[in-house]
């Protein structure tokens, strides 16, 4: 199972095999990760956290809200709440989701802090 960012889009893949017959299957895609695949990625790898430097982000608020809306962030009220979380404790998601959002917000001038999931040791 893997996820990443390619050409400004999420990419994901999952390989499975049947314990009984040994048959193998591969599923992959671009864009939004299916809920069950996303949940399995988080269970296996943990979550990354993205924060924005509030001192840099606040003067860019309108540009960043527009970028969040273009990224599928929802209504204006929803993206305003997301902006507040990003400039506060941050938001979490798969590493690829947070990397994609960090790239988009950095392109608008935000200073991003992306903390990858803790690595199992």
- DSSP for residue 41: H
Structurally, the chain folds into a number of domains equal to 1
What is the span of the domain harbouring residue 54?
Answer: 2-115
**Is residue 121 one of the residues assigned to a domain?**
no
Query: What is residue 17's predicted lDDT score, i.e. its pLDDT?
Result: 87
Which residue's structure tokens are 């690829």? Answer: 96
- DSSP for residue 8: T
* Confidence category of residue 120, pLDDT binned at 50, 70, 90: low
Average pLDDT rounded to a whole number, residues 109-114: 97
Q: Measure the CA–CA gap between 50 and 29, rounded to whole angstroms.
A: 24
**Is residue 45 one of the residues assigned to a domain?**
yes
Q: Sheet harboring 9-17: ordered strands across?
A: 2-6, 9-17, 24-30
pLDDT in tens, 64-104: 999 999 988 789 999 999 999 999 999 999 999 999 999 99
> Between vectors from CA 83 to CA 73 and to CA 8, what angle results, nearest 5°?
50
pLDDT in tens, 29-69: 998 899 999 999 999 999 999 999 999 999 999 999 999 99
């Amino acid at each position: 199972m893997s996820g990443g960012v390619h050409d400004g889009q999420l990419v994901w893949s999952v390989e499975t095999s049947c314990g009984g017959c040994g048959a193998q299957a591969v599923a992959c895609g671009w864009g939004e990760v299916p809920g069950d695949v996303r949940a399995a990625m988080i269970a296996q790898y943990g979550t990354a956290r993205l924060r924005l430097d509030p001192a840099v982000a606040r003067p860019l608020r309108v540009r960043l809200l527009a970028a969040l809306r273009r990224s599928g962030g929802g209504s204006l009220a929803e993206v305003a709440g997301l902006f507040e979380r990003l400039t506060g404790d941050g938001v979490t998601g798969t590493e690829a989701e947070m990397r994609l959002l960090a790239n988009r917000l950095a392109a608008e001038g935000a200073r991003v802090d992306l903390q990858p999931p803790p690595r199992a040791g």
